[in-house]
Structure formats: structure tokens, C-alpha cells
Structure 1
């Protein structure tokens, strides 16, 4: 069974499922509710289930577009109007490039589905640890050393001043498929007893649908930046708390561990189990901005089969499923984002999305819109 069974449209479900990671496989039992906070000021009214047209996405979102947004609709000639400079912290999508991607996506026919392919609407990239830096090209672009330590997977060139053009030009990656040129990162995890890092040993990035149909599904725009989680949150994560690391294992067992660290914040896993963490990103986009000042307001979470009117473009939902090659200990761990509190509540993830456009379009059309299960190479048999 795919890890996708962990998510039931808008929340994590209880039950036994198999987590298939780039390194090994595990059965994990989840009983979590996925907290979904709408971005500040988001309009929660839902858009039509048919999904937005190009004009819907680019025409100012019903007059609510702020000064400096892309806000340019394509005329009959297919040319996009000029784009005003974005306010500080907002990054405009290139309307010409996005229109070209949308046109190519709409013209793309779905590939025939081989026999035996599942109906979980997803494709994925399996990644390995790449490198660590105290950099963050989303939160602190161009400022090397200005962040806490991060563990990066994916594009090998990622550092503080990495741009979209860099990710497109320098495509060496620790992910499969190699057509995924994206950069993904999380705060580095440290062993509290030794102070040494415990790096990821498997890092799967799912692109999936959390909605009830593929109607109106669009691909990710090149250069979209997003953050899931809160690096500043510092609350205890005792047994049963939301937002904690969990134990993944073969067979029945305790998600929260057979014991806890001395401070209660970290599970100690049973035989054969290792620590895991899962992060869910939004699945709706405003159609205008690749980033926003808090790196969240340009995206939102949908509901059922629709997106908020403020964010009408239905995009694949990224999910990080992260494996660590450690079992837990009485001393526990700490994240680079909270070395004092030593809780897991500050766990967060960043996604700087740059794929080969043809591959992104094809995987979204075949796997997410057509609602078929795909692996690193396409349809999963």
C-alpha cells in the first residue's frame, strides 16, 4: 500500500500503511489530525470545482489583487500585459512563462494507463541528503550564515544566494527523477547527548492530490517557494502531541515509541523502527506570486474539491516524508531551530520548486489529474 493512504483528503487517517522510502520500507500506524491554518487574510469562500482558467488566475482575482501583483490577463493575441513591480517580499510569476506552461499543459494528452496501476493521485521524487549550511535562500536570500543550520536534499548547488536560474542551470541533484531540479530543506536534527547531527537517510517528496477529483488540476509553476511549519514555535511535544516525530516500523507497534526521552519530547522506537517526520504543504495558489513576505500567503489549503477564491489555482500538494537512521534515546534530540527547548514543535520544511517543465506537466496530467499512482519514473506498476 502506498504512503498516500496516510492522507484522507484533508487529514491524516488512523490505520496501518506502508511507508516506502528511498532507503528501506516501514509500516507506520498514524493517528494524527493535520492542522491546517489558512494564511492571514485568506478568503475562505470556495472557488468553483471546475478550477480556474488562465484568465481567472491572472485577472486580479476578482479585483482583490494588490498593487504590484502580476494581475495581467492574456489578451486574444496570447501576449501578457506588462507586470508592475511587486511590493517588498512578493515575487511575481512571469506571466509569459506561466501562460506558456499552461498552454502546453492544456494541450497535453494523457498517456494510456498500463494494467495494474493504482488510483492514488500522486507522483514523487526520492531524495538523499546532499549538504548542510546555515543558509536559507527563501527566508534569508543572499545572506550566507544568517540562518540556523539546514539539511538540504535535491539540487546540489543550493545555498543562500541560489536563484531560479541557478536551479535551472545547475541540475545535479540527489533526487530521482533527475528532472526534479528543486531544492528542499529542513532544520538539522542533532543528538542531544553528543551534539552531532543525525542526517536524513531517506527523504521522499510526494506531489499529490488531496481533493476528491482531478477537475481543474494545474501543474506547479517554475520557481514556486513555500514553507510548511513554524520555525519559531517552541512548545513541548509529549506523547500524543501534534507535530512530533514518530516511529515507523514493520508490523504493529507504537507510533509514539515504546518509551520517551527524559524531557518527554522525543519517542524512543521499538525494535526495527526509526524516527520519521511528515510535513504537508498547501495545494492552492494565488496564480500571481511565486513567494510572499511570510512565504505562506501566496498559497492556501483547499477543502473538498475546491480552492479558496483568493487562491484559485489547484496545484499538487507537496508532502515531505522524512526518515532518520536513528531510534531515539533518553537524551533525545534537538532541532537547529530550537536548541534550548529541545522540542520537535519548530520542525519546518522549505520547497523551492524547479522541475523540467515538460516532466512537471506530464506527471501532473498523468498522475494527479488522471488520479493514477506514479513513482519516480512514471506510472507505478
Structure 2
């Protein structure tokens, strides 16, 4: 199945926001830019996120993409593009929300009238186009998608003082602002997080804890017990971009946050399957041209990273020093109940949900821990590790496949997690399960008096406030047929191969 063949090769560092001028003259855009400038101004409170005095609201919109089913193949590209447009609309609405605190304090209806109402109108227009595109291509669009146009204002989950927020999720008075209606103590990201409540000492996590329905490990004592490990490095080539080839093909900055890439080296929104098949790879086994990618972690220490003014980076609220993993372990394992079958070439899998702060945890698959404490896993907190221990991010991918499709309209329905007993349901077939383990050397943030100093955080859509539960991983299988057969043989025969 070929994807977009048009290529655009612009290094992320060179994408000095073309839209910056538009933001500067648009609703609150110039003030948004000032957020990022403030990250590097020295002050007694420099490099600190306030979580007690500042009220932060975000935009909570129904995820239209998760409601779409049975999109004809010839309409998929257009529909994905429209969904990416909706993400951009939410981003712009969030920026307006974050840069109009004074106006909100003076008008109880400001958020509804100036932010949420116009956003609903724009979303309704996009939904109408999506329905039209599906129907024109011979499908049958859901007539009830219009009910997903309305968004809500939502308070951030952090300590608050004084008055609460009103029904629109907007701020009352008593805000900690400077002369422009801004808070300067925000790590440069427009008080978009993380906050103190997003962190937990690993010693305070109970062993055996994991409050997530997803991420079940497929391997066990029965079935197919072997494994295959592929070594693809830790992104030593510094391949970064804010595209998302799976969810937003053909859309520049479709992710609104930056990804690390290992494996395939021709990986942007405009890469076709042919491009992927012919690309270089960072994997030691040159038969593995698969693409493995995840949002970067950043240390919000005031560093002006190469993308400080770029889309996906500072222009989308992702600021600070990008942290390279010390280790990136990529391992394929078997199934507790059966042998596994080969993955089809160009199979696409997304695990986790980049919008789970507003979507809820139905598709969340985040897991955070520390080396030496990996029997303690948390989904909705960043761990604070003791001296000598490193931060660990892990992800167990879906390992049941429908046997037919390499993708689906919502990029989820063609694959599934195993059931509690390790088997695949609904006629799905067991495939090798990808397990990703990322290890980072990160100085422990200090949390005192409701504030966190020098926090680290995962890149996110702006309105997701860098919440740890939004962590996610992406994979496209581009292994040679011979190598995939070797993977399957190793797993099914109980061997551990590299």
C-alpha cells in the first residue's frame, strides 16, 4: 500500500516558524512568543514551575479520529489531513486560552465566546468535510459526528488556591501575572506543565503496581517463548521531526511535538512505503529498516534547544534540552498461548495515546519507573529516582493482528492487545510483540512547597500539558521478509536471538 510520494526535505532546525508572523499579529500570538523568551530571563524564580499560585486550563475536545470507522482507502489521506487540521485548531485555541488570562479574569464568558465557541464552529466545518469525503469515496459516514464538535474548558490537575474555575474552565481573579497578564515563572512553556503533582518519588510507589488496562506482556511460560532483539542505537544521528507518518501522513508538524527516530532514516510525513523500503537504517542488522519512534524527553532547565522557535518545539510549548536515551532496547517476544505469525510488511502500530490527558485512559499505555525499581510502574506520574538510578520508559505493543490490514481508519482497529489469558480474541492472530525499554540519565527534579524545579517531561500536544500519561510509541514494520521469518522462527522455537 503506497503512501504519499511527494517529498519535502526541510531539517527541523531550519523550520524557523513560518507562522510566527501570523501568531504575532493574531489573537494573543505575540504574548505566546513572549512566554518562550521569558524562559531565558534570569530571575530568582528561574527554572521553576509554579503549581500553587497559577491556575491553568486546557481544551478538552472529543477525539473525532477514534470515532471514525470504515473509511474507504481512497479517502484516507484526505481524512487524515482533516483530522490533523482539527489538531491545529485545538493548538491555536489553547494558545489563545493561555495568552488571555487578563481578559478571562475580567469577563466570565470570555473563554466560551472568544475561544470555545469559535473552535466549535471551525470543528463543525471540518467534520462536515470529513463526512463528505467518506461518502464521496463510497463509504457511509457516521451522521452523528457533529456531536463531537463542541469542546470544553478543563482545569489542569494541579493544586489551586483562591477561587475555583467557572463552568467554562476559565480563570478567576487572583492570578500570578506580570504586566502583560503573564506568569513569568513557567519554564518558558506558557505554564503548560509539568507541575509538582505530576511527579512521585519511586519509593512511594507500591511494588507490583500498574493502573493500566493496556500494555499486557504477551510472552509467558507457554506458547512461543523465544525472543528477538534488534539493536538500532539511541538516535545518535539526531533524527528529529514533529511529523507523524502514521496518524498524519502528508502533514507537516502533524504531531505538534518532536519525535526521536531509530531504525529507518527516511522518516517524515511525506515518506512513502517505497521510500521506507529503500532507506538507510541505524539498525545493526541491515535487514531491519523498520521505523521506531517516540516523543522526546526534555529537561526544562532553561536550555535553548535547536528547535526553540520551531513548530513542534518551542512554538508548540515544548521547551528545554532534549535528552538522548542512554539505552534503547527493542525486543520482540512471543505469545503465551500460541505460535506467532509473521507481521506483514509496512504494518503500522501506535501504542498509547498522545491525547490521553483529555481522552481518558482507554488507549493509554504509559509506564514509568527507575532502574533497580522496575517492579514499581506508574502511568500518570513521572518518577523521581534516587541517586545512581535512571528513569525508565517502557511500552508493550499490541500483539494481535486482524490478519488482513496493515492500518485502519483510526490506526487502532487492525491490531489489539492480548486478553488476560494471553490469547488473541475475535479471530485475530498472534504476531511478535514489540517491547520498547528506554533508559535515561536525568538529574532528579526537586519538589518543594508545591513547586518543581528543573523538571523533565515528555513532549506533547500543547493542550495535553506534558502529562506523563500521554506517552506513546509508534512502529512501522519494514523488515526484509527473510529477517521477519527469522524473528518468527526464533520466537516459536524458544530461542533468544539477536
TM range (shorter): 0.5 to 0.7
Equivalent of residue 345 in structure 2, options 207, 222, 247:
222
Q: How far is 1:201 from its partner?
A: 2.5
Bigger RCO (CA 8 Å, 6+ sep): 1
Give the 3 Å change call, closer, same or farther, for CA 255–314 of structure 1 in structure 2.
closer
Q: CA RMSD in A?
A: 3.1
Structure 1 position 181 matched with structure 2 position 297 = no
Match of 2:357 in 1: 234
1:364 is paired with a residue whose SS is: helix
Q: How far is 1:270 from its partner?
A: 1.8
Match of 1:74 in 2: none
Equivalent of residue 359 in structure 1, options 483, 492, 496:
483
Q: How far is 1:346 from its partner?
A: 0.4
Give the 3 Å change call, closer, same or farther, for CA 230–166 of structure 1 in structure 2.
same
Quick one: distance in 1 between partners of 2:416 and 2:365?
20
Is the deviation greater in 338-347 or in 279-288?
A: 338-347
1:199-278 → structure 2 map (5 Å cutoff): 199-214=324-339, 217-234=340-357, 243-249=366-372, 255=376, 265-278=381-394
Give the 3 Å change call, closer, same or farther, for CA 288–276 of structure 1 in structure 2.
same
Is the deviation greater in 125-134 or in 179-188?
A: 125-134
1:153-192 → structure 2 map (5 Å cutoff): 153-170=262-279, 172-192=280-300
Give the 3 Å change call, closer, same or farther, for CA 122–371 of structure 1 in structure 2.
same
On the 8 A contact 2:399/2:418 being kept in 1, the answer is: yes
TM-score (norm 1): 0.59
2:491 is paired with a residue whose SS is: helix
Q: How far is 1:126 from its partner?
A: 2.0
Equivalent of residue 326 in structure 1, options 420, 425, 442:
442
1:38-49 → structure 2 map (5 Å cutoff): none
Equivalent of residue 134 in structure 1, options 223, 227, 242:
242
On the 8 A contact 1:203/1:323 being kept in 2, the answer is: yes
Equivalent of residue 258 in structure 2, options 113, 132, 149:
149
Give the 3 Å change call, closer, same or farther, for CA 219–327 of structure 1 in structure 2.
farther
Say how many residue pairs are matched: 252
- Runs of 4 or more, structure 1, over 6 Å off, are none
Structure 1 position 369 matched with structure 2 position 477 = no
Quick one: distance in 2 between partners of 1:256 and 1:230?
18
On the 8 A contact 1:275/1:328 being kept in 2, the answer is: no
TM-score (norm 2): 0.46
On the 8 A contact 1:187/1:335 being kept in 2, the answer is: yes
Quick one: distance in 2 between partners of 1:343 and 1:66?
31
Give the 3 Å change call, closer, same or farther, for CA 352–193 of structure 1 in structure 2.
same
Give the 3 Å change call, closer, same or farther, for CA 173–207 of structure 1 in structure 2.
same
Quick one: distance in 2 between partners of 1:315 and 1:174?
24
Q: How far is 1:358 from its partner?
A: 0.5
Q: How far is 1:255 from its partner?
A: 4.5
Give the 3 Å change call, closer, same or farther, for CA 265–253 of structure 1 in structure 2.
closer
On the 8 A contact 1:168/1:181 being kept in 2, the answer is: yes
Q: How far is 1:328 from its partner?
A: 3.0
Q: How far is 1:305 from its partner?
A: 5.6
Structure 1 position 288 matched with structure 2 position 404 = yes
Whose strand proportion is higher, 1 or 2?
1
Quick one: distance in 1 between partners of 2:374 and 2:325?
22
Q: How far is 1:285 from its partner?
A: 0.9
Q: Which has the larger radius of gyration?
A: 2
On the 8 A contact 1:204/1:321 being kept in 2, the answer is: yes
Q: How far is 1:207 from its partner?
A: 1.1
On the 8 A contact 2:381/2:469 being kept in 1, the answer is: no
1:176 is paired with a residue whose SS is: coil
In structure 1, runs of 5+ residues without a counterpart are: 1-39, 42-64, 69-84, 92-118, 236-240, 258-263, 377-381
Match of 2:95 in 1: none
2:323 is paired with a residue whose SS is: coil
On the 8 A contact 1:244/1:266 being kept in 2, the answer is: no
Match of 2:474 in 1: 350
Cα-to-partner distance string for 1:179-211 (whole Å, 9 max, x where unaligned): 110111111111123311112222121111132
Q: How far is 1:168 from its partner?
A: 1.1
On the 8 A contact 1:265/1:342 being kept in 2, the answer is: no
Match of 1:88 in 2: 76
Give the 3 Å change call, closer, same or farther, for CA 342–363 of structure 1 in structure 2.
closer
Quick one: distance in 1 between partners of 2:469 and 2:71?
35
On the 8 A contact 1:187/1:337 being kept in 2, the answer is: yes
Is the deviation greater in 127-136 or in 218-227?
A: 127-136
In structure 2, runs of 5+ residues without a counterpart are: 1-65, 81-223, 303-319, 359-363, 447-452
1:354 is paired with a residue whose SS is: coil
Cα-to-partner distance string for 1:156-188 (whole Å, 9 max, x where unaligned): 111111122112111x22223221101111111
